[in-house]
Amino acid sequence: MLSMVVVAAWFALPTIASACDMKIGFLFMGIPSSSWSVGGGLNVQPGSDGDDTYWAANVDAAVALGERAVVIPGIGYCTRTGDDAEGEIVFGGGLGFNLWNNADGTVMVNLQGAVTHVSEGDYSAQSIPVSAAAMFEAGDAASVFAGGGLQFFRDSFDGDSESDNDPFVYGGVAFGSSVAIQVGGSLRFGEHANDFAFNIGASIPMGG
């Protein structure tokens, strides 16, 4: 299944740097079945131990760069629960490169990475998940995917900045043809806790 899939339930640490993270880096970046496709979705990171729950809706597009690569720019809106909650625009994008396919295209291996940027006043944050991923055809209408890598973070406020990184894994099921859908999950191993989020979306081929 080489069509882009843009639905995932993924798990991530709800820090400021990742709470509004777009889903692009936590799903398998397939080459679109047409020259390009559009998609959208909603992710939810439920709070724990009194933390706020974050909600982020986004739209994105996948553009094939030949037969081996895809670029996925996206924009979203993120907000959270709480009396002082405010919404923020988030920008992001991803790049996936197909390293290997078997002869009949039922197994694909990718190297892929993404970046998300959010800013408000003197504060800004970036997250950059980088991973290797594989997708396996599981039938005529479905495939399974799995991957893992390292997620880098950078927070800046009033001229001061901090950086960190955490390992993460993810996996799930992809299905659909005219509308490509992916449902799955990922888990990032934080220093103090392993937290999670959920996401759902879909993509539709647009180009010839």
User: 47-69 pLDDT, tens per residue?
Assistant: 766 778 888 889 999 999 999 99
pLDDT of residue 43: 77
Whole-angstrom Cα distance, residue 131 to residue 144? 16
- 1, part of any domain: no
Contacts of 164 (CB under 8 A, 6+ apart): 17, 152, 153
- 4, part of any domain: no
pLDDT of residue 185: 80
- 180, part of any domain: yes
- 6, part of any domain: no
pLDDT of residue 4: 36
14, pLDDT greater than 60: no
What mean pLDDT comes out for the span 25-46?
Answer: 85
189, pLDDT greater than 80: yes
- 153, part of any domain: yes
Provide the terminal-to-terminal Cα distance of the chain, rounded to the nearest Å: 17
- 172, part of any domain: yes
Look at residue 166 and give its three-state secondary structure.
Answer: strand
Higher pLDDT, 201 or 89: 89
Question: Residue 112 in contact with residue 121, Cβ under 8 Å?
Answer: no
- 84, part of any domain: yes
Higher pLDDT, 148 or 176: 148
pLDDT of residue 9: 31
pLDDT of residue 192: 58
Produce one character per residue of 32-52: b if its CB has 16 or more CB atoms within 10 Å, e if not.
bbeebbbbbbebebeeeeebb
Mean pLDDT of the chain: 83
Here the CATH number for the domain that contains residue 107 is 2.40.128.130
- Indicate the pTM of the whole model: 0.85
Structural domain boundaries, residue 186: 16-205
- 47, part of any domain: yes
- Split into its structural domains, the chain has a count of 1
